[in-house]
């Protein structure tokens, strides 16, 4: 009987990272299921659970864990209850969680308290605000770690995790970007009614510790983009506290200059990014995928501070209109050498190589703190 692997996905972003791992595990003969919850279940954000259902050869279990504007502690509690019921009935051999979202924290906690093997993807990174605390909590709760770089591995070790439980595979979403998207820009423009030939991509998420100022930050940032005279495809922010204030600003943008989308299919987004003049905002796409593709990016605010150091990444505050204007004038349409700081696009192969090693499954679940030498 093949081992059962359960991937937890709560948003379009983490599914884009987990899909290559799940597909490779499926093709290697593992029994793969997705536990789908979070933003995936909300119509406002594009009902992206449908994207998970399009994946062939995997099972899907849906769980509605929130209403719009639910506090994060409420979402955490609901997810713990729903996931606990699920694993009690199905008892997977391995649960795979990603990153720093509250759904991942809830599921990692359930795994730890029930002694279920849990692998955390992309631990050991800095992302600012409460997200970073969630990420490091997930590291301590998980029994295995699949990280994107040696630098991340060192941080996981600094948290007391054993080096033998840490596997450097790179960022999984780069596997997809490394090859052809499978769609053309003509198809992307037609599907999403994008009228621009020359465009930037913009995503501006809330920062939970700064939610009181997110409206003002968004207003200043989008005003600078509007003054530039450039055209942008805007992807709606995630549903963290402070999102509503950002959405109020986005709703007022002129539709002739800003094409606003709740979400995109991953293949279409990949092709859109490969052909973008730049990426702006505070999404991880600007500090991970954009440098890998050689696309210039402008990181706004504190959400991704210190996460990456590529020469194609620039940074400024949301209200620094002069810096935003200078970036758009200097970097628009420029191409940089590809950056491999988060991998070369082979994460899924490395992931399955680890799973195929009997030592992975033989490792005990009673954790010890390992001091750095």
CATH number at residue 150: 3.40.50.2000
Q: Are residues 287 and 356 in the same domain?
A: no
- Give whole-number Cα distances, 270 to 247, 285, 293, in Å: 24, 10, 10
Q: Are residues 161 and 290 in the same domain?
A: no
206 lies in which domain range?
185-331
> How many structural domains does the chain have?
2
Q: Are residues 27 and 158 in the same domain?
A: yes
Would residue 337 count as lying in a domain?
no
Residue 18 DSSP code? H
Q: Are residues 217 and 245 in the same domain?
A: yes
C-alpha closest to that of 146 among 181, 99, 178, 183: 99
Q: Are residues 226 and 246 in the same domain?
A: yes
* Residue found by looking up tokens 């713990």 in the block: 80
Would residue 339 count as lying in a domain?
no
pTM as predicted: 0.86
Q: Are residues 349 and 257 in the same domain?
A: no
Q: Are residues 161 and 195 in the same domain?
A: no
pLDDT tens digit at each of 373 positions of the chain:
699 999 999 998 899 899 999 999 999 999 999 999 999 999 888 889 999 999 999 999 999 999 988 889 999 999 999 999 999 999 999 999 999 999 999 999 999 999 999 999 999 998 766 788 999 999 999 999 999 999 999 999 999 999 999 999 999 999 989 989 999 999 999 999 999 999 999 999 998 888 899 999 999 999 999 999 999 999 999 888 888 999 999 999 999 999 999 989 889 999 999 999 999 999 989 998 999 999 999 999 988 877 777 889 999 999 999 999 999 999 999 999 998 888 889 999 999 999 999 999 999 999 999 998 7
Q: Are residues 164 and 232 in the same domain?
A: no
Would residue 81 count as lying in a domain?
yes
Helices 129-141 and 102-114 sit at what angle, rounded to 10 degrees? 20
Strand runs (DSSP E) across 91-149, as ranges? 94-98, 118-121, 144-147
Q: Are residues 116 and 223 in the same domain?
A: no
């Amino acid at each position: 009987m093949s081992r059962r692997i359960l991937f937890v996905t709560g948003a379009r972003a983490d599914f884009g990272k987990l899909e290559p791992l799940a597909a490779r595990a499926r093709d290697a003969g593992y029994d793969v299921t997705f536990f789908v919850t979070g933003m995936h279940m909300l119509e406002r954000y594009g009902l992206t659970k449908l994207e998970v259902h399009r994946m062939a050869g995997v099972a899907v279990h849906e769980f509605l864990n929130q209403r719009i504007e639910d506090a994060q502690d409420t979402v955490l509690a609901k997810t713990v209850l729903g996931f606990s019921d699920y694993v009690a009935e199905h008892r997977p051999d391995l649960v795979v969680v990603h990153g720093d979202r509250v759904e991942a924290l809830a599921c990692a906690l359930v795994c730890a308290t029930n002694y279920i093997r849990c692998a955390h993807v992309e631990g050991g990174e800095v992302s600012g605000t409460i997200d970073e605390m969630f990420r490091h909590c997930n590291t301590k709760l998980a029994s295995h770690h699949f990280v994107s770089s040696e630098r991340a591995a060192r941080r996981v070790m600094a948290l007391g995790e054993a080096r033998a439980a840490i596997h450097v595979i790179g960022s999984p979403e780069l596997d997809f970007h490394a090859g052809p998207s499978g769609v053309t820009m003509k198809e992307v423009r037609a599907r999403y009614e994008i009228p621009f030939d020359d465009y930037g991509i913009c995503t501006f998420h809330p920062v939970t510790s700064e939610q009181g100022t997110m409206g003002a930050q968004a207003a200043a940032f989008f005003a600078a983009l509007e003054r530039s005279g450039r055209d942008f495809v805007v992807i709606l922010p995630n549903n963290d506290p402070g999102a509503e204030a950002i959405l109020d600003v986005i709703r007022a943008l002129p539709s002739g200059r800003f094409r606003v989308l709740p979400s995109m299919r991953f293949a279409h987004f990949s092709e859109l990014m490969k052909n973008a003049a730049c990426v702006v905002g505070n999404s991880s796409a600007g500090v991970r995928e954009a440098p890998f593709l050689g696309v210039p990016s402008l990181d706004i605010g504190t959400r991704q501070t210190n996460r990456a150091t590529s020469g194609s990444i620039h940074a400024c505050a949301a209200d620094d209109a002069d810096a935003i204007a200078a970036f758009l004038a200097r970097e628009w349409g420029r191409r940089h050498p590809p950056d491999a700081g988060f991998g070369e696009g082979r994460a899924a192969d490395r992931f399955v190589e680890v799973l195929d090693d009997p030592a992975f499954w033989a490792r005990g679940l009673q954790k010890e703190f390992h001091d750095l030498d």
